Structure 1
Amino acid sequence: MNLVTRIDLLERLGNWMQQNPEQWQAAKEKAGRLNPWFSPGFTNLAVDNIVSRFLQRPLLEAWVKRYHLPDSNTAPAKVGVVMAGNLPLVGFHDFLCVFITGHKIVIKLSSKDEVLLKTIVEQLYEWDERTRDLIQFAEVLKGCDAYIATGSNNSGRYFDFYFGKYPHIIRKNRSSVAILDGKETPDMLSALADDIQLYFGLGCRNVTQLYVPEGYDFIPLLEALKKYDHLADNHKYKHNFDYHLALLIMNSKFYMNNGSVVLAENVSPFSPVSQVHYQYYNQPKETLATELAKDEQIQCVVGVGDIPFGKAQYPELSDYADGVDTMQFLSDLKLQ
């Protein structure tokens, strides 16, 4: 299967997902039943982003042109991919990278997201039988030539042990931060609320920590975050909110709360669901942004001059997780 055919299939897949046939609707509904974090609105948002930002032919052609991919991959490697399941189809970009470079992919799905990608792949099987040789699923990954694995810091140690002797990309815990200066407009704060609360705040691109100057007025931000009050209708989110609020109260910690999200001072960039950490800074924003960009725990730095407010959850094809160029890794992959 040559490169043009693979792009044809991906373009067709984007059109199919956008048309939302009954089969795809049923898959999304089932995914939501199995994982209450996959609300219909957030699942549709993830799908719309994939369709509009990944599966458009001009975007795909411009993307692969940067890597000088050959028309045919005459020596495809078998690439094992361990996918996360914190967001709907969060592993799709890895799948896309392996497929478009012409390598064979063996996918270990997360138990939290077992339905959506399988449905997509079954559709590709139906359109072109050759994809059965290129895309497979497995409960245990072994006998692969290279590995891409995404998980927690704990699972990262496991991945290092088993996959470290092979060419690999191993991703661990990351989160995102925003730098504020108190001059944000209501529209900017509304956009920041999206960065914080889309997908219930579960993604590595979600802002979970704020850097603010001394004397920062949090009231406008708390008001802006009320646009996501409806998240408390999700029982899992509400349980997190009640539990972590109770911990702060019992430990006599200072906090701010608007009824659906809690702000608490904390140096950690990793905050629980329904909570956002903040800390104060007293250095130039540009210096702080440069320091944060070097932090291996930080995926995105949101704010003026960095990723604009409201754009953290809308990655492009070339926005690689952990800053590691997956396409270059796969393009350079040579069988020994």
Structure 2
Amino acid sequence: MSENTPFVLGILTSGGDAPGMNAAIRSCTLSALQSGFRVIGFTHGFYGLLDKTYIDLDESTVRDIIHCGGTILKSARCPEFKTAENQQRAANNLHDLNVNALIVIGGDGSFNGMLKLSHYYTGQLIGLPGTIDNDIDGTDHTIGFATAVETAIQAVDKIRDTADAFERIFIIEVMGRHSGFLALNVGIASAAEQIITFENFENPGKELQKIAEHIALCKKQRGLSSYLIVAAENLWPGGVSQLAEDLANYANIRCTPCILGYIQRGGAPLAKDRILATKLGIGAVEAVIDNKTLIMIGESNRQTCQIPLTQAVAHQKTVNKALLAAQESVLDIAKLAKSHLM
């Protein structure tokens, strides 16, 4: 590369969108421009690499996006990228465009895609953890998690109002794919009577018994009142609608299922996610300057850190066990009710 040829940095967002992705695009772009790089943003995730669809990113493009949800680069899941042929095609396109480094903002699926791409692409590959699921190893929090928790809490608080007014039982399903971080944090913060997540789930039979006994104890102590169950998605066979039906058949308990769904992925990012995305974006460009590759930029103990991509997708990260234990003992009102009845 000659002195007159600028270093080209590519950025893309992939997989599920997360509040704060735009903040990450902004910080990556501004930091790279300060270093004299040319910055391009590939659109629609890995499809942008396959189709050579991109936009130039400059200061005016990213100036007013830090507060916006979603992603200006759009996102997508790209099943076609799973083939070696398309991975080679994407690498060829990156080489043709003289892209020296690529920053991917996404979750474990996106990071696994980068690992596959590395077999054919000779440039640098840096990942930023952007997912509401908070299921990436090596970072305390992922971009978007804090906002998703707050969005879900606001929704659950409103459901509590209706549950109080009608003295009903609601089962609320939150996102998280196969991770319990959202369910536990939302359940704790909204004072749910029960939280059903991957880390405390045994099997449907035992769970039905546990839920029914818990509800009976609370009813005996408090009489008719609101009762909220927060459940992780992809946990109960058939989802929370089936759980409501199973409870009706098992113990004649009437519940109203409520699936929060995609509302959790949208909205303006909280300050925490804006700041995290900004720090990690700057860290990503610094890693590029230091000639690093195949790493994720995360945050541990409030310090920016660099984690190998292979470690980031290992799925060893679990919810706070002390918080889970507190929910099942100290904060368990059914146990408190039972002790008062003795």
TM-score range, shorter chain: 0.3 to 0.5
Q: TM-score, with normalisation over the residues of structure 1?
A: 0.34
> Greater relative contact order (Cα 8 A, min sep 6): structure 1 or 2?
2
